[in-house]
Amino acid sequence: MDKIRINGMEFFAYHGALAEENKLGQRFIVDTVFYLPLQAAGETDDLDKTVNYALAYEVVGKIVLDDPVKLIETLAERIAHALLEHFALIQRVDVKIIKPNAPIAGVFKDVSVEIERHRSAR
């Protein structure tokens, strides 16, 4: 299956299980992969036959910047659901949430969660 990637979308938001995370906020980085057929878009040069990257960024941003959650797992689920809901051409989506400044006592690069969700057959 063909893929579109949007990597490194960075947002400052207030997600986290600890009170200080909800108060002070921190950076979150989101990577996505959309699996969809792209041949028609490539052959016709028609934006309606693909995913509008700018609109996809807005969908992700709205989820990340709105209603704070405790878990980045929840954030990933909400993003995956919203992308599948907004873009009928996407058959599968991978969402990775990276939390570079997780409150862990120790040296580490980042913490991340990655999920894969498929469009359900109706």
DSSP-H helix ranges across 1-122: 19-24, 39-44, 53-65, 72-86
Whether residue 109 lies in the annotated active site: no
| Angle of CA points 69, 73, 74, to nearest 5° | 40
Choosing from 49, 62, 99, 109, which is the catalytic residue?
99
The residues annotated with a catalytic role in the active site are 99
